[in-house]
Amino acid sequence: MTDRDGRRHLLGMADVDAADVERILDTAKSFEAVLDREVKKVPTLRGRTVMTLFFESSTRTSSSFELAAKRLSADTMSLKASGSSVDKGESLKDTVQTISAYGPDVVVIRHAGIGAPGLVTRWTDAHVINAGDGKHQHPTQCLLDLYTMREALGRLDGVQVAIVGDVLHSRVARSNIQGFRMMGAEVLLVGPKTLIPRGIEATGVRVSHDIRDIADADVVYVLRMQRERMAEGAAYVPTLQEYTARWGVTRARLRPTQLVMHPGPMNRGVEIATDVADAAQSLILRQVEAGLVTRMAVLYDLVTRPYREPAAAPVVAAVA
Amino acid sequence: MAPRLVQRLGVPAEVLVRGARLYDPAAGLDLIADLHVRGGVIAAIGGDLDAPDAEVVDADSLTVLPAFVDPHVHLRTPGQEESEDLATGTAAAAAGGYGAILAMPNTDPVLDSVPLLEALFERGAEECVVPTGFVPAISIGLTGRQLTEMYALAERGAAGFTDDGRPVESAGLLRRAFQYVGPLGLPLALHEEDMTLSRGGAMHEGVVSAELGIGGYPAIAESAMVARDLRIARYEDGRIHLQHLSTRGSLEELAWARSVGIRVSAEATPHHLLLTDEAVRSLDANLKMNPPLASEDDRLALVEALRCGLVDCVATDHAPHASDLKEQPFEQAPNGVTGLETAFAALYTGLVEPGVVSLAVIVTAMTVAPAVAFGLEPPRLAVGASANLALWDLAADWTVRSAGFRSRSANSAFLGRRLRGRCLLTIAGGRVAHRLAAVGVSA
Amino acid sequence: MATATGKVVLDGDALRRTLVRVAHEIVEKNADLDGVCLVGIYTRGVALAHRLRHEIATAAGVEIDVGALDISFYRDDVSSRQPVVHSTRLDFAIDGRTVVLVDDVLYTGRTIRAAIDALFDYGRPARIQLAVLADRGHRELPIRADYVGKNLPTAADERVFVRLIETDEIDEVTIR
């Protein structure tokens, strides 16, 4: 979790290595013990300020971050795009510089623009956490998914994961491909060719367009299928019905021992059948619980390990 | 009708360059000698020249090249002067060793009418430090619906026509444009992009776009349009100039076009010749342009096409943007990078010094070829020619920094890189247009 | 005697005898041993708590509860580099009981302050006592141990190393 200036950020899964992930998941595990207590709060970040900036609507991620910060005794401020100066056309830079004047220790940002969190690091002295930038990255989702998988299976190395659906437009898929591979899991992408990014095999994943190929997976990770993909001119799939018939994750397509995950919010009856979502093999609610402790762990890790080891100085390359 | 170039009035240059390497591949000139510019004209080339009234520049170990011609520059005037204007844009050109540039029409308002062209000539005659021509739009408002008054614009000195920044989407309209402009002898300069294929794309479609999640712009968006437009040009025997080619597929179409005798010229930009989509991993909007940086395979094909003359011109597609426009997330940021001040040094560093492409090819592609493509007088290092030349220190290293530009904008794709080759002095249209403060001049 | 890690102040035997003495002191001071529990502070306090439990069982025949406390989330210096976080294990209620906190070295007192804060988030003990293997002085807070294995007057620039078989393959306390 690094940046050129030595401050640590979590902008994407490229900012962490396997040891970082193990440490964060272990810390999350110890927060789980804290949440079992009657007093569900620790004083770790007392006097610190965590600012959440959500330029895109999100209930679960923003509330999860806010509660995580509060459980650590941090002060929280949240700014949502609607009803703020962002609505009035203020630039991202002006917004961030304005809120930076309050001296936040951590800025959590969600933005539709790829790379927005990286830009934010230029305009604030805070640690920056990417809570989702466009189709690019959503690293805390990946960490909570890894946590959930590790809790359920006891390991990550060698786990077979099938990610099913709209990989093309999914920041969750992109972070997960990176994070799962980093931790030794095998990844298979399944979906119509229109929704699998061309060239993605080069990242070390396998690709299939046949839903039957999920049979060997330990975990079937279902992505949200968005209605916008059927918009005129987009033509990624002809109809939702066609998508569901070919790639919907249904009981008939699963073995009872396979685990099912979904980042939410779900479209029941579209990418995932209702009985699958509610089945014992579904980890979907556990993912939500994991979100809280994982985000507590990320906040804790950023603030308590503030500087990276001095090494890897940026090198200015010559042309070509 | 020759295109009209305008330049600010100024004192004709009186300069004696002493002891430089004089290099002009088109003239077959490569020798160490003195060069005397008198009254803005190359008066003499030879050993131990004497010129009592001229400034004397001691040019030992320096090189004089013909001043470059850039057929593809955005001067952002009128309408976007916070990014560039005629004075800053032409100062940037002079600093890059350019002696003539052609400005694109995608301004606000669009350059699509005689009054606006005349207004630009008028302003240019006051502000442009290097001779500047203008390429008006093919279609009114760049909307692809109705042709501009090409005859009237040509009579006033238009250098060609282009809807640059956008393709001419309608094949039917493009055909009419070729038919109509044919007797005028002017080229149509085409931005090649099938927008139904590039839609939603902000970078080259490939492994990097797959990993980053940035919308992919497939190579075929360019090559499919190149194929279409070459066939239209062939059918109408039109003069077609292909702008900023970037992919192997387009070059295959170009090779076919040459083999069947289509009257075609084609440009490549320094950024497409030197950078690839790998650079976009930084998410730096200064690496966003249209067409986007392509794959290494495409880049190698482009370099080879330049080396063997298939692509005959180098153009910068100098596209300045004020810093706040580029300080946006990658997909939201506007397309375009500056290039006038880094073009030759970047190519010299990246292609000439490693021995990939000869200096002769680069200089020809930056001088004679674009001049011929647009009917301009090619710059020459020859006695009697108007002085269009630049003095270079090809051993000088410098680092591209946002603070060092004459351009009003600093959105260079080469920021932070070390380049070799510094332009010390530019004489454009017979006038001193650029002089680096460090240049030793004695009277 | 000196080793690579400094002067040995307690060797394996001495360390064991010290723990036996501390166990006896705990038994003597607490008439109602059933109401006592031991809570070790990670990392070495946990091993010491388990050893004390064994010595108390030997001395008094009572198996008392033992727990493990991680104080990472209660430290007052979160910006400095933190050790690995462990999970607190308190499988018994501490309400109304006597909690004996166990740590290896008592130094500034900040760790104990954090441990007391942490304990109160788990319940309301009747009283808290403190047992340490070594007290090296230099307190920064008004904290005092109830049971001290060995007092080690040290200079501020000296360091005390506690090694235990459970974590370090040898029992010894050294100063360097």
Q: A218-222, A231-235, B206-210 — which is least confidently predicted?
A: A231-235
Nearest to C81 among A39, A44, A305 (CB): A305
When pLDDT is cut at 50, 70 and 90, the band that residue A310 belongs to is very low
Q: Nearest C-alpha of chain C: how many angstroms from A176?
A: 25
Interface touch A198/B213, C-beta < 8 Å: no
User: Cα–Cα distance between B353 and A127 in angstroms, integer?
Assistant: 43
Is A305 near chain C, with CB under 8 Å? Answer: yes
Q: Model ipTM?
A: 0.90
- Please, how many CA atoms are within 13 Å of residue B213, restricted to the half-sphere of its CB? 25
The yes-or-no reply on A/B contact (3 CB pairs or more, < 8 Å) is yes
Q: Nearest C-alpha of chain B: how many angstroms from A46?
A: 33
When pLDDT is cut at 50, 70 and 90, the band that residue A83 belongs to is low
Q: Tell whether A148 and A101 lie within a shared domain.
A: no
pLDDT at residue A314, as a whole number: 37
When pLDDT is cut at 50, 70 and 90, the band that residue A87 belongs to is low
What is the pLDDT of chain C when averaged over all its residues? 92
Whether residue A235 lies inside any domain: the answer is yes
Chains touching B (at least 3 CB pairs under 8 A) are A
Name the architecture of domain B67-373. Alpha-Beta Barrel (3.20)
Is A73 near chain C, with CB under 8 Å? Answer: no
Average pLDDT over residues A67-76: 96
Query: Is 50 exceeded by the pLDDT of residue B81?
Result: yes
Whether residue A42 lies inside any domain: the answer is yes
Closest CA to C79 of A121, A46, B134: A46
pLDDT at residue B377, as a whole number: 96
Q: Is A129 exposed, middle or buried (0-12, 13-18, 19+ CB in 10 A)?
A: buried
Q: Chain C residue with minimal CA distance to A40?
A: C121
Look up the CATH number of the domain holding residue A47: 3.40.50.1370
Whether residue A298 lies inside any domain: the answer is yes
When pLDDT is cut at 50, 70 and 90, the band that residue A88 belongs to is low
Chains touching A (at least 3 CB pairs under 8 A) are B, C
What is the pLDDT of chain B when averaged over all its residues? 96
Whether B317 is catalytic is yes
Contacts of A134 in chain B (CB under 8 A): 213-214, 329, 331
The one-letter amino acid code at B368 reads V
Is B413 near chain A, with CB under 8 Å? Answer: no
Q: Nearest C-alpha of chain B: how many angstroms from A128?
A: 15
Q: Nearest C-alpha of chain C: how many angstroms from A47?
A: 11
Read off the pLDDT of residues B101-146 as tens digits, 9 standing for 90 and up: 999 999 999 999 999 999 999 999 999 999 999 999 999 999 999 9
pLDDT at residue A312, as a whole number: 40
Nearest to A114 among B212, B216, B351 (CB): B212
User: Cα–Cα distance between B76 and B319 in angstroms, integer?
Assistant: 8
> Which residues of A have a CB under 8 Å from any CB of B?
91-93, 111-116, 118-119, 133-137, 169-171, 174, 197-200, 202-203, 233, 316-320
Whether residue A3 lies inside any domain: the answer is no
Q: Chain A residue with minimal CA distance to C82?
A: A304
pLDDT at residue C3, as a whole number: 61
At the topology level, CATH places domain B15-63+389-442 in Urease, subunit C; domain 1 (2.30.40)
Read off the pLDDT of residues A175-213 as tens digits, 9 standing for 90 and up: 999 999 999 999 999 999 999 999 999 999 999 999 999
Nearest to C117 among A23, A33, A43 (CB): A43
Interface touch A198/B324, C-beta < 8 Å: no
In chain C, which stretches have pLDDT less than 70? 1-4, 78-83
Pairwise pLDDT comparison (B43 vs A89), residue with the higher score: B43
Which residues of B, range 353-412, sit inside 8 Å of A by Cβ? 354, 399
Q: Tell whether A76 and A168 lie within a shared domain.
A: no
Q: Which two tokens stand for residue B32?
A: 């160490």
Is A147 near chain C, with CB under 8 Å? Answer: no
Q: Nearest C-alpha of chain A: how many angstroms from C84?
A: 7
What are the start and end residues of each CATH 3.20.20.140 domain in chain B? Answer: 67-373
Query: Is 90 exceeded by the pLDDT of residue B187?
Result: yes
Q: Is A33 exposed, middle or buried (0-12, 13-18, 19+ CB in 10 A)?
A: middle
* DSSP secondary structure letter of residue B214: P
Whether residue A2 lies inside any domain: the answer is no
Q: Is A305 exposed, middle or buried (0-12, 13-18, 19+ CB in 10 A)?
A: middle
Catalytic member of B317, B324, B393, B397:
B317
Which contiguous run of DSSP H or E holds residue B21? strand B15-24
Interface touch A199/B210, C-beta < 8 Å: yes
Nearest to C85 among A30, A43, A306 (CB): A30
Pairwise pLDDT comparison (C87 vs B39), residue with the higher score: B39
Whether residue A128 lies inside any domain: the answer is yes
Whether residue A4 lies inside any domain: the answer is no
Helix and strand counts by DSSP (H, E) for chain A: 9, 9
Residue A193 Cα distances to A180, A196, A241, A267, B169, angstroms: 22, 5, 17, 21, 27
Q: Tell whether A45 and A133 lie within a shared domain.
A: yes
Beta strand B55-58 with B15-24 is: parallel
Beta strand A127-133 with A106-111 is: parallel
Per DSSP, the three-state class of B59 is: coil
Q: Nearest C-alpha of chain A: how many angstroms from B210?
A: 5
Nearest to A305 among C82, C87, C123 (CB): C82
Helix and strand counts by DSSP (H, E) for chain B: 14, 19
- Classify the C-alpha dihedral A183-A188-A194-A199 as positive or negative: positive
Interface touch C82/A303, C-beta < 8 Å: no
User: Cα–Cα distance between A199 and A196 in angstroms, integer?
Assistant: 9
Read off the pLDDT of residues B205-240 as tens digits, 9 standing for 90 and up: 999 999 999 999 999 999 999 999 999 999 999 999
Q: Tell whether A132 and A260 lie within a shared domain.
A: no
Interface touch A33/C87, C-beta < 8 Å: yes
Q: Tell whether A111 and A234 lie within a shared domain.
A: no
pLDDT at residue A228, as a whole number: 67
CB-CB neighbours of B50 under 10 Å: 10
What are the start and end residues of each CATH 2.30.40.10 domain in chain B? Answer: 15-63+389-442
Radius of gyration of chain A (CA): 20
Spell out the residues 6+ positions from residue B323 whose beta carbon is closer than 8 angstroms to its own: B409, B410, B411
Residue A152 lies in domain: 139-284
Q: Tell whether A240 and A310 lie within a shared domain.
A: no
Query: Is 70 exceeded by the pLDDT of residue B438?
Result: no
Whether residue A115 lies inside any domain: the answer is yes
Query: Is 80 exceeded by the pLDDT of residue B291?
Result: yes
Q: Tell whether A171 and A246 lie within a shared domain.
A: yes
Buried b (16+ CB within 10 A) or exposed e, A80-118: bbeeeebeeeeebbebbeebbeeebbbbbbbbebbbbbb
Q: Tell whether A110 and A144 lie within a shared domain.
A: no
Ordered strands of the C6-10 beta sheet: C2-3, C6-10, C172-175, C160-163
pLDDT at residue B146, as a whole number: 96
Is B185 near chain A, with CB under 8 Å? Answer: no
When pLDDT is cut at 50, 70 and 90, the band that residue A319 belongs to is very low
Q: Chain B residue with minimal CA distance to A319?
A: B350
Q: Express as a percent the part of chain B with pLDDT over 70.
A: 98
Q: Are the C-beta atoms of C28 and C59 separated by less than 8 Å?
A: no
Interface touch B416/A119, C-beta < 8 Å: no
Q: Tell whether A159 and A277 lie within a shared domain.
A: yes
